[in-house]
Structure formats: C-alpha cells, structure tokens
Amino acid sequence: MEHVRLTGPEIARIIDHTLLKPSSTRDQIIQLCKEAVEHRFATVCVNPYWVPVAYGLLKGTEVGITTVIGFPLGSTTTNAKVAEARDSIANGATEIDMVINLGALKSGELDAVELDIHAVVQACKGKAFVKVILETGYLTDEEKSAACLISKRAGADFVKTCTGFGPGEASVHDIALMRETVGPDMGVKASAGIRDKSTAEKMIAAGADRLGTSSSIAIITNGTGEGY
C-alpha cells in the first residue's frame, strides 16, 4: 500500500468534524461550526438535538450537517430510525449516519438488517446521504463483508467503521476490506481513532474517502489530537 501524502486543506474537504459527546454544550457546537467554516471541512457531525443550531450557523456555507440515528447501539426499531432521520432532515441535516442493527446481524437475520437500512435510505432519498455504521469492533471479517454488501444492496451511500462508543477503532485492515467489498462506487468512512495526519493518510490510502474525527484541526495542521 502506497503512502498518500495530502495537504491539510485537501484532507479537510473529506473530514466530518465531529462532536458527539453526550455532555456537549451549545457553545461547543457553535465553536465546532465556526471551525468547520474556517477550515472548510466537509460536514460537522453532531447529535440530532444540535442539528437546528448547526443549520442556523451553516446555512449558505459549503459545510454540510451530518447527524447520527439509532446511535450508538443500533437497536432501536426501524420506525424509530425512520422518524429520527426524517426529523433530522427537516431540521437541516444533509447526511445521516445510522447504526446497523448489530444484534440482528449477529443473529443471521440479514433480511431484517437490509430492510432496516433500506427504510432509512428511502426516507432520506433525494434529501440526505446515508452512511451505515458497522461498528466493526464487534464483527468478524465475514460479518463486516456481509454488512457492507447488505448496505450496498439497501442503497446506502457509505459504509462507516465505528461509532467511537464501542470497542475498537478504524483500522487500515478494515478500510481495505470494506473498500474491496463495496467496490469503487460506494463511499467508505473511517471513524474512531484518527488523531493525526499520518493515520488519516493511511486510511485514505487504504480506501477511505471520508474521515470522521474530533481531532480535525490537529490532523490538518500535522499535530496530534485526542478523542473520537
């Protein structure tokens, strides 16, 4: 695998600048949005409650708004995920990161998993991208591949590694596996544990075309961050 070398601004354009801590305050969300505009990150990634705040700050800019649904466990019902996605889009979200139904996946209930994703995709169609969080730390390689194929069949736009709240972090191995499974025409998002530019470049070289991180500024300035 060749090492990819990119400038800070080049990496910024594929970063979802993330703040998902349950204790996040309004002032912290406002600061996140200001940073996203300043550095031209792809999106901010915030919990659904903060989507209207982000929309008020980011409308008219190039920065999108990602939010998370079924988060972080993935075990809410399909109807709940659909309602959460629709509400978030109505409030201004442009990208929806949904957590896959892990229990159903590990039970071999693959049709149920696909229907769950497809219902959210249909609710978002023409309004928001859908990224499916696999929570790879819980999965075998076989399950990761199956989850990628299910997500692709269901019409999702991206597959994503982790919530940042479960075990494990994004790895070069997982990104390469996910990219190989979904092919060149579907997005792959690396998230959790990306805290410096070198790690970001390795993920991109392995096949990631979006990064989720709360260490965004450290990454684009070649420093080291903490957290998600």
Q: What is the pLDDT of residues 180-214, one digit of tens each?
A: 999 999 999 999 999 999 999 999 999 999 999 99
What is the chain's mean pLDDT, rounded?
A: 96
pLDDT band (50, 70, 90) for residue 228? low
Question: Is the per-residue pLDDT at 223 higher than 80?
Answer: no
Coil/strand/helix, residue 32: helix
Domains of the chain: 8-220 (3.20.20.70)
Residue 37 burial (10 A CB sphere; 0-12, 13-18, 19+): middle
pLDDT band (50, 70, 90) for residue 222? confident
pLDDT of residue 140: 98
Active site residue 160: yes
Question: Is the per-residue pLDDT at 1 higher than 60?
Answer: no
Task: Please pick, among 97, 116, 157, 174, the residue that the annotation labels catalytic.
Answer: 97
Work out the average pLDDT over 174-181. Answer: 98
Active site residue 81: no
Work out the average pLDDT over 70-80. Answer: 98
Task: Please pick, among 81, 131, 152, 189, the residue that the annotation labels catalytic.
Answer: 189
pLDDT of residue 6: 86
- Whole-number Å distance between alpha carbons of 83 and 110: 22
Closest residue by Cα to residue 68 from 114, 111, 120: 120
Active site residue 189: yes
Task: Please pick, among 81, 131, 152, 160, the residue that the annotation labels catalytic.
Answer: 160
